[in-house]
Amino acid sequence: MYFSAKITNSALTFLVKKGHDVERIYSYTDVPTEFLRDSSCWLDVDDVESFLSFIEKEYCNHFPGENLIELIGHTCAELNSWGALDSVLKMMQKPQDVFVQPERFISYFVSPPPPIGGLKKDEDHISFELPISTDEFPYVTEYLRACIEALPTFMNQEMAHVIWSGTRIEVNWTSRQVNFFDGHVHGHNINPDFMQSLVTALEKSEKELKERNTELVEKNKEIARLKVEAENLRSSSFNLSRFKNVEPPLTPRKRDKIKNRLSSLRGEVSRVADYLARAQQLITLLVAQDRKSPQVKEAMRRVDWEKVTKSYPHLLDQTYKHFEGIVDLLNSNDDFEVEDLDSHKRSQVQLSDVIDKALKKVTKGRDVHVNRLYFFNDELPLYKKDIESVFCKIVQKSLESLKKDGHGSLRVVTRPKGRLAEVEISDTGLGINTEEFLKSEDGETIDNILKKHRGRLNLTSKAGSGTTYVIDLPAR
């Protein structure tokens, strides 16, 4: 079952008309903004319910004493957020024409249209059963209830009264509703046959749009499923054809042999260190006994003895650390990470894959919400490792700018832009000094890599309002 984006578009339009910023709503949901604002689109039932729940929670304080979802539904005639349905309703002569056909009105908001049961009608009352419960979808049913109450306002008449309890809906209206305008001034002068044909045409267009959008939603779900399967396949399999000289994973026996040889090598390095320490003691004794002749001084200069004595303790310490690191790796259950031999060559690369890999690396172990909206799905000619480094550095900088309490989110959008592919990475952090970042080592590295790709970076930041990085890359 799906709910219409007329619902989400109404809520967004209402808040914008009231002067509220709705950007944080887009970062909350994974549904693309274009879908939320398209009245002909169909969205998953849970996404719409969660969307209205978030709006109620975030904006109810701005409307004290009001039921915000009900208020949005009651203003439906003013919002013009329902597409063709707005025109259809405004051409109706009386509310009864809509109320007596509840299945038609409900079909504009629920797909596939649910069955209507227990229908009872009289002159100014109608009741019926709908398999959509107020317990399961409290916010959507509240919105639809308010909309049904407000339907007469499309004909400039008083609101109806609707009770939606569980799955039972009762609609009451007065059969002698008073028109808000003087009947002598304005009247319905449209030919009934013409109006009916126009309504039929609009409904046909609405139905076709609904079918196409339903197909689009299903295709998007299938694409998402295939992407997950492809990612799982990549993680669970190792493509040896790309690494001609790669050995199979080490067996326990081979690991033990390597550890034994490392232990022997460490012992030999320790003996060399001992010999060097004795040589240093000997030189010290000679110098102390005034035996530092010109010949000895020249010999010490030639071997750069002073540098040797200063450097070898640090070099020895680093060598021991390398030994310990290799032994730790051998003791772990992880296999050695093998670098892709083609990673530094320019090749056709899926942009979203590179971004996902960078996000996974940088956000690993951190509780941060990342909203991904990928509208560019083509491959680009990239130096994969370099461009991944760019995204890693930018995402890392965004995470560093988030508030100390950990609250905040990232939003990553890809979109076509003429002959370019645009990547927009924005955060809700505290903002950064843009000039300082661009002149930093990371900023210069990013600039050099983008120049190598014939790309560019645009950076904007505002204290307390976050930072936006826009990267343009040639699409061919």
pLDDT digits (tens, 9 = 90+) for 413-450: 999 888 889 999 998 888 899 899 999 999 999 999 99
In a domain, 399, yes or no: yes
Which domain-ending residue is among 209, 227, 260?
209
The residue ranking higher by pLDDT, 470 or 39, is: 470
Residue 254 has pLDDT above 90, yes or no: no
- The domain that contains 116 carries what CATH number? 3.90.1520.10
pLDDT digits (tens, 9 = 90+) for 310-363: 777 777 777 777 777 777 777 765 444 444 444 456 788 888 889 999 998 888
Residue 194 DSSP one-character state? H
Q: Give whole-number Cα distances, 92 to 143, 155, 183, 193, 314, in Å.
A: 22, 7, 16, 13, 88
The vertex-227 CA angle with 225 and 233, nearest 5°, equals 105
Q: Label residue 201 by pLDDT band (50, 70, 90).
A: low
In a domain, 239, yes or no: no
Determine the average pLDDT of the residues in 303-307: 71
Most confident range, picked from 153-162, 235-244, 254-263, 273-282? 153-162
Q: Say what the pLDDT of residue 87 is.
A: 82
Burial of 227 (0-12, 13-18, 19+ CB in 10 A): middle
Burial of 429 (0-12, 13-18, 19+ CB in 10 A): buried
Mean residue pLDDT of the chain comes to 79
Residues paired with residue 415 on neighbouring β-strands, in sequence order = 422
Domain hosting residue 310, numbered range: 252-331
The one-letter code for the residue type at 355 is I
Q: Give yes or no: residues 327 and 354 share one domain.
A: no
Q: Give yes or no: residues 370 and 429 share one domain.
A: yes
Q: Regarding beta strands 409-417 and 369-374, do their DSSP bridges make them parallel or antiparallel, or are they unpaired?
A: parallel
Q: Give yes or no: residues 32 and 161 share one domain.
A: yes
In a domain, 223, yes or no: no
Q: Say what the pLDDT of residue 263 is.
A: 73
Residues paired with residue 459 on neighbouring β-strands, in sequence order = 469
Which domain-ending residue is among 331, 357, 380?
331
Residues paired with residue 42 on neighbouring β-strands, in sequence order = 4
State yes or no: cis peptide before 131, omega within 30 of 0.
Answer: no
Domain total in the chain: 3
In a domain, 336, yes or no: no
Residue 234 has pLDDT above 80, yes or no: no
Residue 214: CB atoms within 10 Å: 15
In a domain, 234, yes or no: no
Count, residues in the chain? 476
Q: Give whole-number Cα distances, 29 to 136, 139, 257, 470, in Å.
A: 20, 16, 53, 21
Q: Give yes or no: residues 19 and 129 share one domain.
A: yes
Q: Say what the pLDDT of residue 155 is.
A: 87
Q: Label residue 238 by pLDDT band (50, 70, 90).
A: very low
Q: Which residues contact 114 (CB under 8 A, 6 or more apart)?
A: 1, 106, 130, 131, 132
Q: Give yes or no: residues 271 and 324 share one domain.
A: yes
Residue 158 has pLDDT above 60, yes or no: yes
Q: Say what the pLDDT of residue 89 is.
A: 85
Q: Which residues contact 147 (CB under 8 A, 6 or more apart)?
A: 73, 76
Q: Give yes or no: residues 353 and 433 share one domain.
A: yes
In a domain, 447, yes or no: yes
In a domain, 338, yes or no: no
Cα separation, 162 vs 147, in Å, equals: 9
Question: Do residues 102 and 125 make contact, with C-beta atoms less than 8 angstroms apart?
Answer: no
Q: Give yes or no: residues 134 and 277 share one domain.
A: no
Determine the average pLDDT of the residues in 64-92: 89
Letter string b/e over residues 127-155, b meaning 16 or more CB atoms within 10 A of that residue's CB: bbebebebeebebbbbbbbbbbbbbbbbb
Q: Give yes or no: residues 143 and 287 share one domain.
A: no
Q: Give yes or no: residues 34 and 121 share one domain.
A: yes
Cα separation, 394 vs 398, in Å, equals: 6
Question: Do residues 141 and 149 make contact, with C-beta atoms less than 8 angstroms apart?
Answer: no
Burial of 393 (0-12, 13-18, 19+ CB in 10 A): buried
- The domain that contains 415 carries what CATH number? 3.30.565.10
Q: Say what the pLDDT of residue 193 is.
A: 57
In the sheet that 456-462 helps form, which strands lie side by side, from edge to edge?
A: 369-374, 409-417, 420-427, 466-474, 456-462
Which domain-ending residue is among 147, 178, 209?
209
Q: Say what the pLDDT of residue 151 is.
A: 92
Q: Say what the pLDDT of residue 248 is.
A: 55
In a domain, 145, yes or no: yes
Residue 164 has pLDDT above 90, yes or no: yes
Helix, strand, or coil (residue 377): coil
Residue 124 has pLDDT above 90, yes or no: no
Residue 13 has pLDDT above 80, yes or no: yes
Q: Give yes or no: residues 101 and 201 share one domain.
A: yes
pLDDT digits (tens, 9 = 90+) for 15-63: 999 999 888 888 788 788 888 888 888 888 899 999 999 999 999 999 9
Extract the tokens encoding 287: 């110098």
Cα separation, 98 vs 106, in Å, equals: 10
The residue ranking higher by pLDDT, 160 or 330, is: 160
Percentage of residues in the chain having pLDDT higher than 90: 26
Q: Give yes or no: residues 300 and 430 share one domain.
A: no
The residue ranking higher by pLDDT, 68 or 344, is: 68
Q: Say what the pLDDT of residue 337 is.
A: 44
Q: Give yes or no: residues 358 and 301 share one domain.
A: no
Q: Which residues contact 375 (CB under 8 A, 6 or more apart)?
A: 32, 413, 414, 415, 416
pLDDT digits (tens, 9 = 90+) for 381-418: 888 889 999 999 999 998 888 866 556 788 999 998 88
Cα 224–chain centre separation: 13
- E strand residue ranges, 363-450: 369-374, 379-383, 409-417, 420-427
Q: Say what the pLDDT of residue 335 is.
A: 45
